[in-house]
């Protein structure tokens, strides 16, 4: 029997520096360190410093937990798009250095597509629609006519950034998503809020302005606000996901992104799917948030389909669109 490839994945599109080791389809380790702040958001140069600081430790830890040594590595994959330029650059330099030192192929991977591929691997969904709900990204993606295509997306900010801004206005810490979920459980009254679905797209900017004035008025409890926000924005996401199912004729949904850790969003997706005879899948949290296992796995798929992994093809692309990517393995 052919020996399974040992693949190292490296994720650095935004706040997370992650390294994962796979042996074939099996995830042996999935380590990460996440840039956080006490106050305020991500300053790109600070995130880059964080990644430089973290890289060798996380790499060492991932190999140790996987029980492999550098000599066992057959292939390296890294996230080259899309994301924050500063962060991507650190990952690219680190990944190229290892590839050069070990003289192994290096495969560039699109981060958004990787969220979908890890969902397929871990849930056995075959041809799903991905609802990708993270800090900066909100997209509904599916495979159609040879490519992954974006069927719907946010017209302004990502759902996670929206929740974090709303949370900041409420005086919750960062990231606010988990706190909002907790408070929402004790909400009793559904407050009517702007609900913005335009065709297949969503938008959160107007809702955020509306909420800020509601918070200022002091008329509403935090619990009711959180509950009402979740009911509205998750319904928007699930509505456009359902429309993508109807349009493509697909029968599976896979969730991805940090916001997909939310149990109410998972429940709403499940209910929508049950009602239309489809299935909603959700990998465990460590594979929903940004992670390097998804990069390793997608790199493996590309390599298996003939990607040579040449260094000259490993430039970063902070703005790459999902449907710009050539898919040879499906
Ligand atoms: P990501 O960009 O994929 O790492 O996801 C980060 C985003 O997920 C942040 O905006 C968090 O506030 C959000 N998030 C994490 N956990 C939850 C949760 N349980 N409910 C809602 N949002 C969450
Ligand atoms: Mg992500």
Query: Do residues 131 and 102 both lie within one domain?
Result: no
- Residue 2: band (very low, low, confident or very high) from pLDDT cuts 50, 70, 90: low
Which ligand is the nearest neighbour of the Cα of 15?
1
CB 238 within 8 A of CB 129: no
Query: Do residues 137 and 271 both lie within one domain?
Result: yes
The enclosing domain of 65 has a CATH number of 3.30.420.40
Q: Is residue 120 in a domain?
A: no
pLDDT value at 294 more than 80: yes
pLDDT value at 88 more than 70: yes
Distance CA 125, CA 117 (A): 10
**Is residue 290 within 6 Å of ligand 1 at its C-beta?**
yes
Task: Tell me, letter by letter, the H, E, C secondary structure of 66-132.
Answer: HCCCHHHCCEEEEEEECCCHHHHHHHHHHHHHHHHHHCCCEEEEEHHHHHHHHHHHHHCCCCCEEEE
Query: Do residues 134 and 281 both lie within one domain?
Result: yes
pLDDT at 141: 98
pTM for the predicted model, two decimal places: 0.95
Query: Do residues 226 and 296 both lie within one domain?
Result: no
Q: Is residue 246 in a domain?
A: yes
Q: How far is the CA of 127 from the centre of ligand 1 (A)?
A: 25
Show Cβ contacts of residue 6 under 8 Å, excluding neighbours closer than 6 positions.
21, 22, 23, 68, 72, 73, 74, 75
Q: Is residue 64 in a domain?
A: yes
Q: Is residue 261 in a domain?
A: yes
Taking residues 256-275, report their average pLDDT: 98
pLDDT tens by residue, 175-234: 899 999 999 999 999 999 999 999 999 999 999 999 999 999 999 999 999 999 999 999
pLDDT at 160: 96
Query: Do residues 61 and 188 both lie within one domain?
Result: no
Query: Do residues 111 and 31 both lie within one domain?
Result: yes
Tokens linked to 58: 């996380």
Query: Do residues 234 and 251 both lie within one domain?
Result: yes
DSSP string, 226-273: HHHHHHHHHHHHHHHHHHHHHHHT--EEEEESGGGG-HHHHHHHHHHH
Percent of the chain with pLDDT strictly greater than 70: 98
Bridge partners of 17, per DSSP, are 33
Query: Do residues 101 and 185 both lie within one domain?
Result: no
- Residue 288: band (very low, low, confident or very high) from pLDDT cuts 50, 70, 90: very high
pLDDT value at 36 more than 90: no
- Residue 173: band (very low, low, confident or very high) from pLDDT cuts 50, 70, 90: confident
Q: Which of 258, 264, 288 to mutate to test the pocket of ligand 1 (most atoms within 8 A of CB)?
A: 258
Query: Do residues 281 and 292 both lie within one domain?
Result: no
Q: How far is the CA of 297 from the centre of ligand 1 (A)?
A: 23
pLDDT tens by residue, 296-323: 999 999 999 999 999 999 999 999 999 9
In terms of residues, how long is the chain? 330
pLDDT at 249: 98
pLDDT at 1: 47
Taking residues 252-268, report their average pLDDT: 98
pLDDT value at 264 more than 80: yes
Distance CA 321, CA 154 (A): 14
**Is residue 273 within 6 Å of ligand 1 at its C-beta?**
no
Q: How far is the CA of 259 from the centre of ligand 1 (A)?
A: 4
Query: Do residues 30 and 155 both lie within one domain?
Result: no
Tokens linked to 172: 């919750």
**Is residue 159 within 6 Å of ligand 1 at its C-beta?**
no
The average confidence (pLDDT) of the chain is 96
Structural domains counted in the chain? 2
**Is residue 183 within 6 Å of ligand 1 at its C-beta?**
no
**Is residue 11 within 6 Å of ligand 1 at its C-beta?**
no
Query: Do residues 78 and 138 both lie within one domain?
Result: no
Q: Is residue 1 in a domain?
A: no
Q: Is residue 50 in a domain?
A: yes
**Is residue 107 within 6 Å of ligand 1 at its C-beta?**
no
Q: Is residue 262 in a domain?
A: yes
Tokens linked to 19: 């390294």
Query: Do residues 133 and 276 both lie within one domain?
Result: yes
Q: Which is the closest atom of ligand 1 to the Cα of 167?
A: 12
Q: Is residue 121 in a domain?
A: no
Taking residues 231-250, report their average pLDDT: 98
**Structural domain boundaries enclosing 74:** 6-115+288-324
pLDDT value at 39 more than 80: no
């Amino acid at each position: 029997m052919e020996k399974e490839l040992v693949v190292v994945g490296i994720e650095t599109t935004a706040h997370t520096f992650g390294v994962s080791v796979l042996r074939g389809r099996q995830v042996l380790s999935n380590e990460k360190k996440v840039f956080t702040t006490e106050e305020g958001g991500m300053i790109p140069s600070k995130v880059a410093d964080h990644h430089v600081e973290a890289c060798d430790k996380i790499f060492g830890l991932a190999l140790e937990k996987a029980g492999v040594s550098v000599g066992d590595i057959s292939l390296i994959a890294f996230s080259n798009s899309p994301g924050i330029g500063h962060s991507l650059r650190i990952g690219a330099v680190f990944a190229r250095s290892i590839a050069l030192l070990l003289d192994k192929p290096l495969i560039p991977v699109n981060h958004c597509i990787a969220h979908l591929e890890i969902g397929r691997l871990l849930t056995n969904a075959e041809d799903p629609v991905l609802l990708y709900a993270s800090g900066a990204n909100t997209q509904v993606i599916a495979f159609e006519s040879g490519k992954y295509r974006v069927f719907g997306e946010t017209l302004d900010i990502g759902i996670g950034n929206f929740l974090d801004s709303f949370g900041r206005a409420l005086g919750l810490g960062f990231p606010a998503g988990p706190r909002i979920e907790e408070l929402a459980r004790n909400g009793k009254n559904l407050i009517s809020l702007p609900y913005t679905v335009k065709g297949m797209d969503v938008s959160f900017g107007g809702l955020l302005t509306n909420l800020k004035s509601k918070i200022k008025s002091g008329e509403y409890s935090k619990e009711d606000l959180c509950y009402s926000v979740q009911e509205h924005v998750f319904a928007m996401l699930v509505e456009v996901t359902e429309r993508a199912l109807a349009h493509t004729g697909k029968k599976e949904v896979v969730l991805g992104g940090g916001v997909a850790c939310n149990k109410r969003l998972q429940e709403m997706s499940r209910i929508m799917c049950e009602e239309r005879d489809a299935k909603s899948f959700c990998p465990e949290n460590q594979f929903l948030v940004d992670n390097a296992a998804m990069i390793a796995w997608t790199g493996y798929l590309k390599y298996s389909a003939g990607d040579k992994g040449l260094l000259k093809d490993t430039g970063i692309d902070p703005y790459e669109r999902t449907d710009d990517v050539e898919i040879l393995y499906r």
